[in-house]
Amino acid sequence: MEEFDYVIVGAGAAGCVLANRLTASGKNTVAVIEAGGKDNHIWIKVPAGFNKTVYNDNLNWGYETAPGPHIDDRKIRFPRGKVLGGSGSINGHLYVRGQSADYDTWAQLGCRGWSWDDLLPYFKRAESRVGGSDEVRGRAGPLSIEDQRDPHDLSDAFMAANEALGLKRSPDYNGGNQEGTMLYQQMMKRGRRWSPVDAYLRPAMGRPNLKVITRALVERVDLEGRKAVGVTYRQDGQSRTIRARRDVILSGGAINTPQLLQISGIGNPEDLAAIGVAAKHALPGVGRNLRDHYAVRVSALVKGAGSLNERSHGLRLVREVIRYAVMRKGLLTSSPSHAGGYFKTRPGLETPDMQLYFAPASYAPGSYGTSVLDSVPGMTLGCSQLRPESTGHVKALSADPAAKPEIQPNYLAVQHDRDALLAAMKYLRKLINTSPLKEHVVEENLPGPGVQTDEQWMAHARATGSTTYHPVGTAKLGTDPMAVVDPLSMRVIGLEGLRIADASCMPTMVSGNTYAATNAIAEKASDLIPAT
């Protein structure tokens, strides 16, 4: 039986950070267990390859949500990375920290040490960034953050239309104050995706005190009384046990972490009884508090703009491939959203409550939630509420670790969320009809000019909205009765030897894409864990 100081479950956005930081001194031995395989798929490295990876069954857990009672009982595909790098190897590689108020809220909820000022040093430590202020941006970290290498003219028109409506250009939306319109920053290095494996794991893999175990599904956390002593995992059809002298650290993300806790006997006793698992440690908050950003699109056909649709076929595509190979520019450096914005949907708000997305491309009818390009030139605008009040759950439906859990985000359950989204959709239509963007428009084709009333807009939102792949909160930091993780130590409350550091720890949703926040959580955890 192998034994290490730390056993990390999951080699994603958080697990890769922990593997690197905890082995850096040479004092600790660390094993990282990942259910997926190596990150050597060709499309992982090409930025636009998210179209090829996000629903690839060889790189993905293949989840979907339970029917949503407030979105016409639809199920939504819910990809999570199953590969070294986790979702950080298949996502849209946008870098968004959120607002300073997000983290100050965490501190106000009882998470001492988790305010913006507390986390800023970790954001800075993580990144290597050209541009922005030295006060808020890092210069020598492992995570490469680049500006877009080849901005599109339609993106410029989108930002100019926002300015015409009073939303100013943001000098750096990652400086704590997001309000404004801007081009998104990307996790890339010299035109290639820069994943958590590139940034953290691969530089550490040559260390003798780190072992990376792939294609290994963790079956349970092994407990002796109130102490976690290791994990049992299945690889090549055989069960193996690995011991942790100090800690087992769960970094499987907002879906896999609560599921593993539940099948290990840690969670709400009623949930555990439903799957025939004996309750070893009652924690009612496990799997609760699931939050995700729900996005809705508005799109238009365009003319004379050289949309990505036009550049993705025939000889033009051949030219784009050559351009990328030679210059690392063009279509293949694209992310799902090129430009965006953060604005307030109503007066009286202290900070923006809505995120905007823009792509100089349109998507095939019915491909909501995917990125299949349409055959005709177009552009797409999207919106998602930054801090939704609707919450859901993750529940294991079986004691079998390979069985998919129930994922119920409960989108649009709260009227406040519906009101904010309604205001944002109307703003998107206003943008399409504002110069200089409107000069490129042939016609709005989604939802189309026939949608006018509030009821029609909300019917569009229910029928076509989708995930932005940002689940968080299912094993939250805190001190209240539903908290799962101690914010001072990252320990699972009431247990020894078991810690959690990943997106499941977030008490509330951050304002935007969640990778940067998850990275900062892991950076801070890598200091807290050896010290506590």
What CA–CA distance (Å, rounded) separates 143 from 4?
A: 27
Residue with tokens 């009982």: 73
Residue with tokens 């810690």: 499
Contact 203, 190 (CB under 8 A): no
Query: Residue 367: what pLDDT?
Result: 57
Q: Is 51-82+146-190+292-393+403-467 CATH 2.60.120.330?
A: no
**Residue 497 structure tokens:** 């030897």
**What sign does the dihedral 11-14-20-22 (CA atoms) show?**
negative
| E strand residue ranges, 425-521 | 441-446, 466-467, 498-500
Contact 359, 338 (CB under 8 A): yes
3-state secondary structure 232-300: EEEECCEEEEEEEEEEEEECCHHHHHHHHHHHCCEECHHHHHHCCCCCCEECCCCCEEEECCEEEEEEE
3-state secondary structure 186-215: ECEECCEECCHHHHHHHHHCCCCCEEEECC
Is 470 marked active-site? yes
What CA–CA distance (Å, rounded) separates 519 from 251?
A: 11
Query: Residue 364: what pLDDT?
Result: 75
**Which residue stretches of the chain have pLDDT < 50?**
none
Query: Residue 363: what pLDDT?
Result: 80
| pLDDT tens-digit series, residues 28-48 | 999 999 999 999 999 999 999
3 state DSSP class of 3: strand
Contact 367, 380 (CB under 8 A): no
Query: Residue 376: what pLDDT?
Result: 86
What CA–CA distance (Å, rounded) separates 449 from 298?
A: 11
| pLDDT tens-digit series, residues 108-153 | 999 999 999 999 999 999 999 999 999 999 999 999 999 999 899 9
Contact 111, 487 (CB under 8 A): yes
Contact 472, 435 (CB under 8 A): no
Chain length of the chain: 532
Amino acid at the residue 368: Y
Of 7, 12, 1, the residue nearest 28 (C-alpha): 7
Helix runs in 6-54, H state only: 15-23, 42-45, 50-53
Q: DSSP state, 147? A: -
Cβ neighbours around 110 below 10 Å, total: 14
